[in-house]
């Protein structure tokens, strides 16, 4: 067994090689396992995923239309008390995000008070003037949020990113657990782990609670997918199936009699809640991108008339902006009246001349991100970038400083992965999934752990060769 030897925080092993309390039960079990058997299990996992069809599509990759996200069979373990502390911070943050969205599209108190510069959302492509003055059913904007957390020490969790647009990955959280239970049932007999499998039911309940007023006691819920070629199609189908909801495409839907309706074998039937996995831009060709064939002409009129719930609300993407992110501590305090329980990662806004100067002077040390970017694209990781890449990035940065933020290169925590040679530490993050409805905020214990499979790599995105792990919150 190897262990982390650097100053990075390893979640399983201390620097002296001893095992931290969260992993003790797992370590005991592991010591009893035959290494050859473990290697065999490792290849079993892949065929399990292939068979089940848990795949994602990679754009621009003809040969491998459907790929597997690598799964690592060492669980990422969090204790019950760590989780209780974390979930208080997450709940506070999501509450603030939802209030922030409402304020941004109504009185904009936060701007009037001078806590947030107006230009931040005026220049934001995700800002939708169509949403101004409109209140979505139940007052909920962020029905589903994914909060990306990183860890740097025993008690140091911080938020790296907020995903209020359409956070994906929850199907992996669920399937990773199923896979682990199928592969190592005895592990779950020995160690009590808080379950995640009721997420789809909680999602359905939470969405139903956000239905428009006229929807009746059993609102009809549908998941809108761009179709089978979308990279996250598996997840769309999976969630619809698990929720007992319809899986619809734009071509199934039409506005009839002031309602969004789906074409069934028995004629058109109304939909009350649309969990859309289609971006705002493609939602309504009459309001947004006129070339979109993924959306439903006229849905925004139905929405504004209060006859359908769209989850998440159009225009919530503003919150995903990394310049807005840098104001989250102020935002949380403004709407909750409390200090943020979960800190941000230090962030320099390059729009600010002093910060820009600092960033330019220290490019080799920093991670620089586009404010609207996602998926690990369009970013510079100073310490691992070549001189040429740094030079090219410097030019981009100088041309459009307001397009970028910079953060220190964090000593992200590591968690062991299984390799042929035994356990080896790799960097991880955690994306818990948070549901928001008028009935409250509901966080499924755990979330999706993404892991950088390459030694030393800090990039955990699946589109860039990252893998996933089952994430355990101990029932202790």
Partner 1 sequence: MTDQDITFAIEKPMLGRVANGIFWMYRYLERAENTARLLAAGHRMALTRGVDEASEEWRSVLTTLGLRTGYDEHYDDYTGAHVCDFVLRSKNNPESVLSMFERARTNARACRSAITLEVWEAINEGWMTLCDLLARPVRESNLNTALGAIRRESSLARGATHGSMLRNETYSFARAGTFLERADNTARILDVKYYLLLPSLAYVGTALDTGQWDNVLRSLSAERAYRWLNAGRMDARSIADFLILDERFPRSLAFCYSAMRENLSALSRLHGKEGSAHEAMRIADQQLTGKSVEDIFDQGLHEFLLDFIGGNASIASAIAEDYRFVS
Binding site for partner 1 (CB under 8 A): 50-53, 214-216, 227-228, 233, 237-238, 240-241, 245-249, 251-252, 254, 259, 262-267, 269-270
Q: Tell the smallest beta-carbon distance from residue 260 to partner 1 (Å).
A: 13
Residue number with CB closer to partner 1 (181 or 345): 181
Residue number with CB closer to partner 1 (294 or 428): 294
Report the C-alpha gap between 326 and 161 in whole angstroms.
Answer: 10
Which regions of 197-326 does DSSP assign to beta strands (E)?
221-224, 246-248, 253-256, 259-264, 267-270, 273-276, 309-311
Residue number with CB closer to partner 1 (200 or 446): 200
Q: Tell the smallest beta-carbon distance from residue 254 to partner 1 (Å).
A: 8
Q: Which two tokens stand for residue 408?
A: 């220190």
Name the 3-class secondary structure at 437: strand
Half-sphere exposure of 151 (CA within 13 A, CB side): 25
Q: Tell the smallest beta-carbon distance from residue 221 to partner 1 (Å).
A: 12
Q: Tell the smallest beta-carbon distance from residue 268 to partner 1 (Å).
A: 9
Residue number with CB closer to partner 1 (212 or 382): 212
CA distances from 249 to 54, 76, 99, 237, 299 (A): 20, 36, 31, 11, 13
Report the C-alpha gap between 210 and 352 in whole angstroms.
Answer: 40
Residue number with CB closer to partner 1 (103 or 249): 249
Residue number with CB closer to partner 1 (48 or 358): 48
Report the C-alpha gap between 404 and 322 in whole angstroms.
Answer: 8
Residue number with CB closer to partner 1 (246 or 333): 246
Report the C-alpha gap between 247 and 253 in whole angstroms.
Answer: 11
Nearest residue to 180 via CA among 196, 157, 158, 161: 196
Residue number with CB closer to partner 1 (223 or 434): 223
Residue number with CB closer to partner 1 (15 or 228): 228
Q: Tell the smallest beta-carbon distance from residue 171 to partner 1 (Å).
A: 12
Report the C-alpha gap between 424 and 443 in whole angstroms.
Answer: 30
Q: Tell the smallest beta-carbon distance from residue 293 to partner 1 (Å).
A: 13
Q: 309 near 274, Cβ under 8 Å?
A: yes
∠ CA(373), CA(377), CA(380), 5° rounding?
Answer: 100
Q: Tell the smallest beta-carbon distance from residue 44 to partner 1 (Å).
A: 15
Q: Which two tokens stand for residue 275?
A: 């969990």
Tokens 């939602």 identify what position?
Answer: 283
Identify the DSSP state of 13: B
Element containing residue 469 per DSSP (H, E): strand 466-473
Q: Tell the smallest beta-carbon distance from residue 258 to partner 1 (Å).
A: 9
Q: Tell the smallest beta-carbon distance from residue 313 to partner 1 (Å).
A: 23
């Amino acid at each position: 067994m190897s262990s982390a030897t650097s100053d990075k925080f390893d979640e399983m092993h201390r620097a002296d090689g001893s095992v931290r309390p969260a992993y003790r039960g797992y370590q005991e079990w592991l010591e009893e396992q035959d290494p050859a058997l473990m290697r065999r299990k490792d290849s079993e996992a892949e065929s399990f995923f292939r068979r089940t069809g848990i795949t994602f599509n990679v754009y621009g990759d003809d040969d491998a239309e459907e790929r597997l996200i690598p799964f690592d069979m060492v669980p990422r373990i969090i204790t019950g008390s760590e989780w209780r502390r974390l979930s208080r911070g997450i709940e506070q943050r999501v509450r603030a995000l939802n209030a922030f969205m409402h304020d941004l599209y109504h009185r904009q108190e936060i701007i009037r008070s001078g806590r947030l510069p107006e230009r931040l959302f005026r220049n934001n492509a995700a800002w939708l003037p169509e949403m101004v003055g409109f209140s979505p059913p139940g007052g909920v904007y962020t029905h589903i949020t994914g909060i990306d957390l990183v860890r740097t020490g025993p008690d140091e969790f911080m938020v790296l990113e907020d995903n209020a647009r359409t956070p994906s990955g929850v199907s992996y959280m669920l399937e990773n657990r199923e896979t682990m239970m199928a592969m190592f049932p005895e592990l779950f007999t020995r160690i009590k782990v808080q379950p995640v499998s009721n997420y789809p039911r909680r999602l359905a309940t939470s969405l139903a609670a956000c239905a428009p007023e006229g929807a009746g006691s059993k609102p009809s819920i549908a998941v809108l997918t761009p179709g089978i070629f979308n990279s996250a199609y598996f997840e769309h189908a999976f969630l619809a199936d698990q929720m007992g909801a319809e899986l619809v495409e734009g071509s199934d839907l039409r506005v009839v009699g002031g309602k969004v309706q789906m074409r069934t074998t028995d004629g058109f039937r109304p939909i009350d809640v649309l969990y859309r996995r289609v971006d705002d831009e493609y939602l309504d060709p009459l309001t947004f991108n006129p070339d979109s064939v993924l959306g439903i002409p006229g849905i925004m009129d139905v929405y504004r008339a209060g006859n359908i719930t769209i989850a998440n609300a159009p225009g919530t993407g503003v919150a995903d902006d990394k310049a807005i992110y840098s104001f989250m501590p102020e935002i949380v305090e403004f709407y909750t009246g409390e200090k943020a329980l979960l800190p941000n990662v230090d962030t320099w806004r390059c729009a600010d001349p002093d910060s820009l100067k600092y960033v330019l002077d220290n490019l080799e040390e920093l991670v620089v991100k586009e404010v609207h970017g996602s998926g690990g694209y369009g970013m510079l990781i100073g310490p691992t970038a070549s001189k040429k890449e740094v030079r090219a990035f410097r030019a981009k940065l100088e041309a459009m400083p307001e397009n970028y933020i910079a953060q220190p290169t964090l000593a992200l925590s590591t968690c062991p992965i299984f390799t042929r040679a035994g356990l080896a530490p790799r960097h991880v993050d955690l994306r818990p999934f948070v549901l928001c409805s008028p009935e409250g905020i509901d966080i499924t214990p755990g979330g999706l752990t993404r892991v950088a499979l390459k030694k030393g790599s800090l990039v955990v995105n699946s589109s860039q060769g990252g893998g996933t792990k089952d994430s355990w919150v101990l029932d202790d």
